[in-house]
Amino acid sequence: MVTAYTALALHGLADPPVETLPQLAVTGRFQHRQTATYAIVPRRAELSWDDVAVLDGLPVFTPAAAIRDLAAHGGARFTDDLADYFTAIVGAAAGRPDRAAIVAAIAATGVRLDAPSSPLPPLLARKWADTASLRTAQWGLITSAQLQQQGVTRSDHKKLRNARLVVPVANGVMREADRPGEGVLVAAQLAWVAAVRDSTPAQRLAAPRPDCVITGTTAVAIHGLGQPGKGLPQLAITKERRNGSRTTTTARYLGRSTALSWDDVDIVDGLPVFTPAAAIRDLGQDSRGRLVDDLAGYFADIAIAAAGRPDRDAIVAAIAACGARLRTVVCDARAILDRVYRTAGVSDDLLAATIWGGMWQRRFTAERVQHIVATALSAALDTIAGRAGDDLSTVLVQMLERNGQARKCVVPECEWWAVEQDRCYAHAIQRRRERVLLDPAGVDSSTTPTPRRSGHGWWGHLDDDGETIACHECGERFRALTRTHLETHDLTAREYKQRHGIEQRIGLVSTEIRERQQHQVATNPRTSELFRRNPNAPRLTDLPSALLNDQSR
């Protein structure tokens, strides 16, 4: 049953207080307890349908019952300012038919509704004035710990709140009431202050190393290079052991195994924020794509936004490094180039032929990808920024050619670009299967390889009739040579291939089975995106099913 603050908020009587989970009343001797989605408010008495209003199918306590529940069961645990809260409820209930019941329920709790805004005692007023410079340095924020260091006791906190000087914004953090704020910078400031509550900004900024720094999409947004994205501000912290992340009500902490350094930090209005390049490098740690959905598109937009900035080269280098390092599913370097070159006005056809076509080789090493992406981005950004650059299409073709010596597959009528041994990927695999390996017996087989017997078959040759392959050891034919079968010859697959000159990468399966497996991989929506060579080619799953059945037969 929904109760307490949550119920009152659902009835439209008050805002739910900060950082409280939905509250459910439960009969029984539970402790106060929180799960990920709700907090339990234990009740000894049975719950009764009399006290329940059903709102849109959801059983919610009536306001009066919720107030009783709140007062009876540790209201003080949730807020030490019930008087304020109840005053607001009485105000909001003014025109409601159940107003009398609500007022009676509040009266029964024994909480006195004080007159608002009592003047501060002179001593407290002086202490409050002493914190003025601290509050200015923290953009109007102040923590309970800092107030206590100034000799302000917990009961004094309440007086400050009653005097409408501060409002609570997070656990242990308050903001000056006349300084409301929104937006990514304000959220980041709150996150930074809430991260370390017992030191002053001066102490924290003078430390040899930063304790935590705004990073990720938050830092990029503060630098005006992108959208802040959804979710809490991101803070980088150094964490020795586990490289995980932790979330509080104000921030998402990204644990980093490397020590943070002031070299990477810009101070934005007193707030330490990673430079764009450092924030991008930090996003590159997100190797599972948890922070940004489309990391490649996000990086491309940053690059475009940074076209005219003085630190553009550092940003481009950081993006290229991430694009080369991250797995393609998380961030495809080609997708970064694609978006930037489209913005620079390069045609779809050229992109399909160069970046997405065979000129982009599967076997580019990470350094090559990094170099290509960095150079190509710089060229495109020059054009975007309006600086005279070379013709982009020639740049693109030249760069990929120089780095990859693009050639077409030598197999007649094959239109794919060569990726290895002058063949396209598919034909290179086929050749590998058929090639007779160099004979270790020492015969010079480089000119005309002479076939040599090996067991029941030929050295280096998998006898494949389409449906079955023959075992070199016993001569019998199987659809695949399983481990169980090879064990009868006391061999592992590795040893079998060595013994008969078959390359280790070749599977011991017949063409039929291999094709079926390839078909399964290609039609599986989870894997097909990974193995598509040409994004413009129709996906197998897009084809009419009649055609598909035809192919598999």
CA distance linking residue 13 with residue 94, whole number of Å: 10
| Interface segment toward Zn ion; rule CB under 5 A; list 61-69, 76-84, 255-263, 425-433 | 425-433
* Own/partner long-range contacts of 254-260 (Cβ < 8 Å, ≥24 apart): 254/215, 254/216, 254/282, 254/285, 254/286, 256/282, 256/285, 259/209, 260/209, 260/210, 260/211, 260/212, 260/213, 260/236
Please say whether the beta carbons of 325 and 365 come within 8 A: no
Q: How far is CA 523 from CA 172, 362, 548, 550, in A?
A: 53, 21, 10, 14
CA-CA-CA-CA torsion sign (140, 146, 33, 72): negative
- Asked if 142 interacts with Zn ion (CB under 5 A), we say no
CB of 370 to Zn ion, least distance (A): 28
Q: How far is the CB of 463 from Zn ion (least distance, A)?
A: 12
Nearer to Zn ion, 56 or 413 (CB): 413
Strand-pair category, 173-176 with 166-170: antiparallel
Told to check if 429 binds Zn ion by CB under 5 A, we report: no
In the complex, the smallest distance separating the C-beta of residue 408 from Zn ion, rounded to whole angstroms, is 8
Which of 68, 223, 334, 427: binder of Zn ion (CB under 5 A)?
A: 427
Q: Which of 152, 235, 424, 502 binds Zn ion (CB under 5 A)?
A: 424
Task: Kindly determine how many residues on this chain lie close enough to bind Zn ion according to the rule CB under 5 A.
Answer: 9
Rg value, the chain, Cα: 34
Taking the least distance from each CB to Zn ion, the nearer of 288 and 494 is 494
User: Is residue 267 close enough to count as binding Zn ion by CB under 5 A?
Assistant: no
Give SS3 for 131: coil
Torsion 128-132-135-141 (CA) sign:
positive
In angstroms, rounded to a whole number, what is the distance separating the alpha carbons of residues 336 and 328? 11
Shortest Å, Cβ 462 to Zn ion? 13
For position 461 contacting Zn ion by CB under 5 A, the verdict is no
Q: Rule CB under 5 A: is residue 409 a binding residue for Zn ion? A: yes
Q: How far is the CB of 435 from Zn ion (least distance, A)?
A: 15
Give me 227's structure tokens.
Answer: 């959208």
Binding region for Zn ion (CB under 5 A) out of 56-64, 329-337, 402-410, 501-509: 402-410
Among 470, 471, 491, 509, binds Zn ion (CB under 5 A): 471
Question: Strand 23-27 and strand 39-43: pairing?
Answer: parallel
Query: Within 13 A of 63's CA, how many CA atoms are on the CB side?
Result: 23
Query: Which residue in the set 196, 411, 480, 548 belongs to the binding site for Zn ion (CB under 5 A)?
Result: 411
Cβ proximity to Zn ion, 205 vs 428, nearer residue: 428
Helix (H) or strand (E) holding 101: helix 99-109
In the complex with Zn ion, the residue whose CB is nearer, 376 or 471, is: 471
Give the nearer residue to Zn ion in terms of CB position, either 261 or 498: 498
Q: Is 414 in the site for Zn ion (CB under 5 A)?
A: yes
Task: Report the residue from 474, 530, 537, 543 that binds Zn ion according to the rule CB under 5 A.
Answer: 474
Q: Is 406 in the site for Zn ion (CB under 5 A)?
A: no
Closer CB to Zn ion, 130 or 487, in the complex: 487
Dihedral, 217, 222, 226, 227 alpha carbons, nearest 10:
70
Rule CB under 5 A: which residues touch Zn ion?
A: 409, 411, 414, 416, 424, 427, 471, 473-474
